Structure 1
Amino acid sequence: MEERLGIAGSGAIACGLAATAAQHGEVLLWARSERSADRARGMVSKWCGKLSEEPIADRVTIVSTLEELAGATFLVEAVAEDHATKAGVLSELGRHSNGTAVLATTTSSLSVAELARETGKADRFVGLHVFNPVPKMDLIELAYAPEAVDEVRARARDLCGALGKTAVEVPDIAGFVVNRLLFPYLFSAVDLLEETGMDPAAIDRCMQLGAGHPMGPLALLDYVGLDVSKAIGEAIGTKVPARVEALVAAGDLGKKTGRGFIDWTK
């Protein structure tokens, strides 16, 4: 891998991306707190152990300030799916990055052009939408601000290839392609659940066995995170079901909290 990846974030996407990249080179990962850093070490180590028999987790260096990512040639923001949160991190990354570094966001639904402007370097910016779990998912959607130069587009495609991923360039529209098509379907499963009173597992089983889906829609919402799913739905203009709103309000966000449509503690 020709790029040295610097990742701002310590959640599932950030850690999955770090573990994937560690198969091919050195990685820097920023965590906001020591608690986040400890959790990130565990997630990175777990994924790296699944991906290689070699101690590739040692290639991931966790840092505590965004300034420490300045040595990276490809800087990726991977924090919460909220414009203000992402904008704050991207603005700081823009200040610390050198003149040749590429800046990127892993947003799944927000405007790439608007986030690009927060960096002050829109010509060197790319939307790098990876999918969770990153080590297993082949696709990366690439979206650009109008100012993006050809060199940045080429480096983004080359990075995807080096990570063993398939890059598809998509328009900078809310939800890009996958989420724009996927979430209306996922939310329709919630509506069906409410209309029929079916067991969530039964709906999921129907779509797995009848439609060949690897995961049912309700389990997938839980896996994505119901808070993230709500944010995506709002961004793409799809009505968020009341059941999703209620679960988020209760703090039942899916797999990451142990409970959502499914009880993940069992």
Structure 2
Amino acid sequence: MPERLGIIGSGTIACGLARLASAHGEIALYARSEASAERARDRLGEDCTAEVVTELEELSEATFIVEAVVEAADAKLEAYRQIDPLLGEDTILTSSTSSLSITALAESSLRADRFAGFHLFNPVERMKLIELVYPPSASEETRRRVQALCEALGKTGVEVLDTPGFVVNRLLFPYLFDAVRFMEQSGLEPSAIDTCMRSGAGHPLGPLALLDLVGIDVSIAIGESIGAEVPRRLYAMAEEGRLGRKVKAGFLDYG
């Protein structure tokens, strides 16, 4: 792998990237607490060589950073504020955001010419696409290195426009939300709808199981960011703590 990779975050995407990339080179993953670090180590498994750290200084030797914190601009900008003074001048900073403006994030960082969107898909080890989003300020060297890392990870990097939801989520989430509304109108069980879309449309995962996988809270945030009509059912589920597979309860039960 042409870069020393540092990952900020310890959630599903962060751990998936760490598992994948650890087979190709040096990886350090930052978790903000020891409890988060322990959960990340459990997710990564004993065979993963990625180092899990709780001090941002441990990422100072990285040449390529992927930020994968919660999908909120304030949280991401705070991460950039903390990490930037620790990084080398040529280190590239990227965000795995699925919906926020890359141009706005880049302008708020201190390395707008070395910034890019690096939108990975879950599960990271299996999904081949990475949506690449560049602010106008991104240098050609940044573009070259970002694309080279995609190739080193065995991924297909596709440059897309900096629009809400980029391409995949802009098209995907209205469909997922329609599935929720149809479930309520029809009275069908979530498993029945998912089976129809898997067996009849060839989808690897049904829409309701996919919402569970993404996370109900994350799905709400993406829907709001792209201006889609988010079903009330999702807000109710979030209030109840039924956030999907990560808590073993969503449209389906995973206990």
Instruction: Tell me the TM-score normalised to structure 2 length.
Output: 0.98
1:250 to 224, 240, 253: 240
How many residue pairs align between the two structures? 255
**2:144 matched residue in structure 1:** 154
Query: Are the aligned partners of 1:93 and 1:119 in contact in 2 as well (CA < 8 Å)?
Result: no
Please report how far the alpha carbon of residue 26 of structure 1 lies from its aligned counterpart in structure 2 after TM superposition. Answer: 0.8
Amino acid at match of 1:263: D
SS in 2 for 1:115: helix
CA positional deviation for 1:110: 0.5
TM-score by length of 1: 0.94
1:130 pairs with 2:107:
no
Match of 1:40 in 2: 40
Letter in 2 for 1:194: E
Aligned to 2:73: 83
What SS does structure 2 have at the residue aligned with 1:155? helix
CA deviation profile, 1:81-103 (whole Å, cap 9, x unmatched): 11111111122222221110000
Specify the alignment match of 1:115 in structure 2.
105
Task: Determine the C-alpha separation between the residues in 2 that align with 1:18 and 1:86.
Answer: 19
Match of 1:21 in 2: 21
Deviation of 1:67 after TM superposition, in Å, equals: 2.1
Question: Can you give the 5+ residue segments of structure 1 that lack an aligned partner in the other structure?
Answer: 47-54
Choose the corresponding residue for 1:193, options 179, 183, 194.
Answer: 183
Cα deviation, 1:182-229, whole Å, max 9, x if unaligned, reads 000000000101111110111111111111101100000000000000
**C-alpha RMSD of matched pairs (Å):** 0.9
Give the structure 2 partner of residue 237 of structure 1: 227
Offset of residue 118 of structure 1: 2.4
Query: Are residues 1:259 and 2:249 paired?
Result: yes
Question: SS at 1:256's partner residue?
Answer: helix
Equivalent-residue separation in structure 2 for 1:114 and 1:92 (angstroms): 18
Kept in 2: contact 1:143–1:171 (CA 8 A): yes
**Residue deviations 1:97-138, cap 9 Å, x none?**
111000000000001111112221111001000001111110
2:212 to 219, 222, 236: 222
Unaligned runs of 5+ in 2: none
| Partners of 1:92 and 1:174 in 2: CA distance | 26
Aligned-partner SS, 1:110 = coil
Percent of aligned pairs with the same amino acid: 55
